[in-house]
Amino acid sequence: MDAVSHLLRQARLEASLDKHCLLGASTRMDVAAHGEQRAPFHVLLEGTCRLQVGSVVLELGPGDVVVIPSGSPHRVITPGPEPLRGTAETGGDAFVTTRSSTGGDGVIDLFCGHYRFGAGAGALLFRSLPDPVKVSFGQSAESAEVLHMLSALMRGEAQREGAGTAAFLSGLCTALLAMVLRTARSSSTDATLWTAAGDGPVAAAVERILAEPAADWSIERLSREAAMSRATFLRRFARGTGMTVGAFLTQARLMAAADLLDSTGLTVAAVAMRVGYRSESAFTRAFRAAMGVTPARFRRAQQL
Distance of alpha carbon 42 from alpha carbon 65, whole angstroms: 6
Distance of alpha carbon 72 from alpha carbon 70, whole angstroms: 5
pLDDT score for 164: 80
* Element housing 8 (H / E): helix 3-10
Q: Which amino acid is at 262?
A: D
The CA-based dihedral angle spanning residues 19, 174, 63, 124, taken in that order and rounded to the nearest 10 degrees: 100
To the nearest 5 percent, what fractions of the chain are helix, strand and coil?
A: 45, 20, 35
pLDDT score for 138: 63
Distance of alpha carbon 174 from alpha carbon 242, whole angstroms: 24
Mind listing the pLDDT tens digit of every residue in the chain (304 residues)?
A: 788 999 999 999 999 999 999 999 999 999 999 989 999 999 998 999 999 999 999 999 998 999 999 999 999 999 998 788 899 988 877 789 999 998 778 899 999 999 999 999 999 999 999 999 998 886 666 777 877 788 888 878 777 777 788 888 889 899 999 989 988 677 777 777 888 877 889 999 999 999 999 999 999 999 999 999 999 999 999 998 989 999 999 999 999 999 999 999 999 999 999 999 999 999 999 999 999 999 999 999 988 7
- 3-class SS of residue 209: helix
Q: What number of other Cβ atoms are within 10 A of residue 232's Cβ?
A: 13
- State the distance between the two ends of the chain, measured CA to CA, in whole angstroms: 31
What φ, ψ does residue 204 adopt, rounded to 5°? -65, -40
Q: Please report the domains of the chain, with CATH numbers, ordered by start residue.
A: 3-181 (2.60.120.10), 197-303 (1.10.10.60)
60 touches 68 (CB < 8 A): no
